[in-house]
Every structure is written in structure tokens, then in C-alpha cells.
Chain A
């Protein structure tokens, strides 16, 4: 089976500051990979490299077997991307929730064409998925931060991507919606076989959901099955101090 993402010897630098070094990482189909690491570790950078938003100065990035250095122009939607900080260019950006989620269906395949019945169906489904269907005609500027985040998650899902990349999608989302969201991700991953990469600082929740985990802090410290993460003191090495993960069930149940 062809890997979904293949990073080989990837180095990324901003000017003279090296942010990622020597990252070699493979994401297989149906993986649910959690990216862990402290602030400034390079998690966002790594996801941007995979999404084609940043060029590494060394190393290769392959998506579904194709080198993305050749071209990031694609006819089909392959990646659903949820950025870390959702910001509209301004609070007054005049757009409805529906118009935002609809962008998730836009690709080079449907240039010159209007969105189809099927597109609209998927957009509504995605809105229902995140539980914000009632807000579809609201202006985006009138949403709370957490609601906006969920709208952008819906947007990413609406495109039916083969790879879902989410950068701290649950930060700022209330605990009830988080639980619902986690079970939704679980279903997408297990039932529909969607490949997911996400970051979060919630190690407990991550270890619960993700099938695999990668720990980065400039370099890749660990990549493997979640259950192996807690052997040895990988976490202490990555974070630089001793870490006791907190598991959610204890608090919720």
C-alpha cells in the first residue's frame, strides 16, 4: 500500500534559524497520527510542509507518491487543512458561514462551474457534523472563536479529503463539543478510513484517539504506535522536563 505522506530528510529554516532538522516520517493510509511537542517545536511548520505551504530547503516531500516540489497545483481536493489560528482578514469580512464552508468544495476540477446539488449536500452534511447547521446563514464576524474554529473544521471536511490535517483543532472548543468532535474523528478514521494528522497539547486525549504518535522538537524524537509512547521517557526528552499525561476519562466520567 502506498504511503499517504512521505517526508525524507526534511530540513526547514526561517532565515538562519533552523526549525526542523532531518525529519523522516511516513504516514500510512488510515493512520491517525498525533503530533506532539512543546511550543515552538515545529509542529505547525511540519504540517505546513505537508500541506505544501512551506518549502523545505532540503529533503523531499511526497504526497500519495508524488513529489510536491514539482507542483502544488492539484485538480482534486486531497487535503483538508484546518490552520492553528483561524482568523478572518477582518472582523467585518462580509461572509456567511455557508459561504465559508462552501469554499471547501472548490477545486481546479470545478473551475468555471457552479457548485452542484451534491456539493451543497456535502456542505450541509459538514455543517451538521460539527453541529452548527442552524448557524449557516450567520455572518462569520458574529461567531465566537470556538464556533469559527468548528466552521473551519466543517470546511475541511466538506471537501471529502483523503488526508485531513488539523493544527490544534480543539483549542478553544468547549469540552462537550470536544468529546463529540473526538468521536466524530474516530468514526471518520475507523469507518471511512480517513487518514488524519493533527496536533494538540492534550496528550491524554491524543493518546486515547490516535493510532500513532510523532514527537517533534526540531528533530523527530519518536514515531510509532501510541501505546509505545509511554515506554521509557520519550516525553521527558521531547519536552525537556518530566511529563505526566492526564487522561480524560478520569475527569469526565
Chain B
């Protein structure tokens, strides 16, 4: 049955892209969730939207312009947060609006009708081409490689910035790095689930994993595993039920999250809880 799916070229590419994203997104997601940067991810994905629209407008490959716009946006946000001239939330709100407004205007100005608004918003994994796979794999290798190299430092900064500073680590540098990784991950994941659901790919598997895992390292690997399962199930269901894969993948992820919550509740000893 699974082989049915693989009979199609576009399905092979779609699955490949989705799996690569599923392996990568939660790795960044773990750090974003624990540093309470989920909202930043949401904002960045709107800047990604503007970047894609810019690419469409200028008639260049949209992932490249999205990558540049999102990385620049992430650094802008990090800079503003550090200088603390605007509160974190205020800065995010401004960028959020800027991304969405700019994106819509640019998109409507461009004559290129091949790119639909809905494919940007909700993903178009079935239309993934080899150039997309190339960008997605590149960003994935960069992200996984960076986390592998700086795993212990990134954990340390996430656990406690002050303590990491006292140990002499360049904490600001790691904050920029995480923003950039988030930006890159969002651009890669956008093709699969669309910008509206992109943070679901990174955040929800992490939240699910946190219900069950017994260490930080395990949290990362379990989140990857759950995301890959979601992608397989989601694509499979989408294929046979003829519904959009982006939404199906996200729904599967959310279902898995609820299952882990249930599993955790059942595992816990039935203590009498006074309310």
C-alpha cells in the first residue's frame, strides 16, 4: 500500500522533503520552546511570507529571497530584544505586521499567477521540485551540523543564560545563532506545511516529546521521531483521503501530542489531587 504512494515522482519528492523537515524542525523547536521563543517563530514565518512574495515579485526563486529576508528579520528581532528599546513582544508585533502587510502587497503587485497565496499559507508539498529539495537539504545539513557542534553550549545557554555568561561563553552570539537557525528552519518547513503551520512542525513535536522524555538529549531525539511519524501518517492519510497534506501532517502531529499527554497522565500514579 505504501508503495502506491511511491509510484509517483511528485510523491517521492514530497515525502523526501517532508521527512527532511521533520528531522530538522524539532531540533530547533526544542530550543525555541524552552527559551520561550515560540512566538518569535510565528513572527519569523510572517517575514518569510514577505520574503517569498518578494521573490515572486522580482521573479527569482522564492526560497532564496525568503531565506535572506527571514535571516535578516531574525537578526533584527534579536538585536532589538538585546538593546531592549522595545519590549520583546512589541518588537515581535511590529515585525509580524510588517511581514504580513508587506507580503500581501508585494504578492498582489506581481503578475506571477503561478504562485498562489494558499500554497504559501498552507504549503504545497506536492509541488516540491528538485531545487526545493536542494535548498531544504542544504538548510537541514547546516542546522543539524550546527546543533551537533554546539550542542552542549546551546543546552547551557538554554538552561541559564547568566550561568553560561559567568562561564565565559559568548551568550549573545548563541542567541543570534538560534534566531538564524529558526529562520532557516522556517524557510525549509514552509514548503511542506505553509507559513501558517510552520511552527507546528517544530513546536508541537517538541511539546509531545517533553511529555515522555527522561532527559534533554532524549527530548530532541523523541521529538524528531514523533515528527517523522507525523509526516508519514499525514502524507499517507492525505494521499488516500485526497485532502491537503500540509493540514493533515499538522493534524497528525497534534493528535500525537494529545496521545502523549494521555500517556503521561496514565503513567502517573493515581494520586488524590486536592483542588
Query: Could you tell me which A residues sit within 8 Å of B by CB distance?
Result: 51-53, 72-79, 81, 83, 88-90, 92-96, 99-100, 102-103, 106-108, 111-112, 114-115, 137, 139, 155, 159
Contact = CB atoms under 8 A, between A and B. Distances in A.
Contacts of B158: 89
A94 B166 contact: no
A77 B165 contact: no
B35 A72 contact: no
Contact of A95 (B153, B165, B215): B215
B82 interface: no
A130 to B, nearest CB: 17
A92 to B, nearest CB: 6
A75 B162 CA distance: 16
8 contacts: A73-B168, A73-B169, A79-B166, A88-B159, A94-B34, A94-B219, A96-B215, A100-B159
For the complex of A and B, the 6 pairs showing the least CB-CB separation, nearest first, are A74-B168, A94-B219, A81-B166, A103-B156, A95-B216, A96-B215
B12 interface: no
A83 B155 contact: no
Contacts of A107: 167-169
A115 B152 contact: yes
Contacts of A108: 168-170
Contacts of A155: 163
A148 to B, nearest CB: 12
Contacts of A112: 149
A92 B156 CA distance: 16
A93 B219 CA distance: 10
B118 interface: no
Contact of B216 (A52, A53, A81, A96): A96
Given A81-B163, A83-B162, A100-B159, A76 B153 contact: no
Interface in B121-158: 149-150, 152-153, 155-156, 158
A102 B215 CA distance: 13
A139 B162 CA distance: 21
Most chain A CB within a 10 A radius of its CB, from B35, B164, B168 = B168
A173 B170 CA distance: 33
Contacts of B85: none
A103 B155 contact: yes
Interface string B194-216: 00000000000000011001111
B210 A92 contact: yes
B36 interface: yes
Nearest to B206: A94
B213 A94 contact: yes
Interface string B19-37: 0000000000000001110
